[in-house]
Structure 1
């Protein structure tokens, strides 16, 4: 029997698995000045694993 590696979930996906949400990440390493490394990423669950995307902040006034 062969496994289909492209199959993401065994059952039906929940509606929340399709939603990207902003997640604050704290890396357990110290920066040069001795503080923890903190950042924000977009996070979504695909039914099996978490998928992360880089979050880029922008100034609303500069975008207009």
Structure 2
């Protein structure tokens, strides 16, 4: 009698791109005080269940040096 271990055959559902942070532009569905749409850039990646977001901060070349 052959026993088949199903746990060893379960594929990893997380593909390679889930480990990578992407720079993403978002638009918030509301308007600012002066009537303009609120938008910005964030880092995001998928952990297999949900999207994770991080604040993106731009630096000028003078500040980076």
Please classify the TM superposition score into its range, dividing by the shorter chain length.
0.7 to 0.9
Q: How does 1:1-64 map to 2 (within 5 A)?
A: 11-12=11-12, 13-64=14-65
Higher helix proportion (structure 1 or 2): 2
Task: Report the number of matched residues.
Answer: 55
Q: TM-score normalized by structure 2?
A: 0.78
- Which entry has the higher C-alpha Rg, 1 or 2? 2
CA distance in 2, matches of 1:11, 1:40: 33
Gaps in structure 2 of 5+ consecutive residues: 1-9
- Point out 4+ residue stretches in structure 1 off by more than 6 angstroms: none
Alpha-carbon shift at residue 61 of structure 1 (Å): 2.3
RMSD over aligned CA atoms reads 1.4
Compute the TM-score of the two structures, normalised by the length of structure 1: 0.79
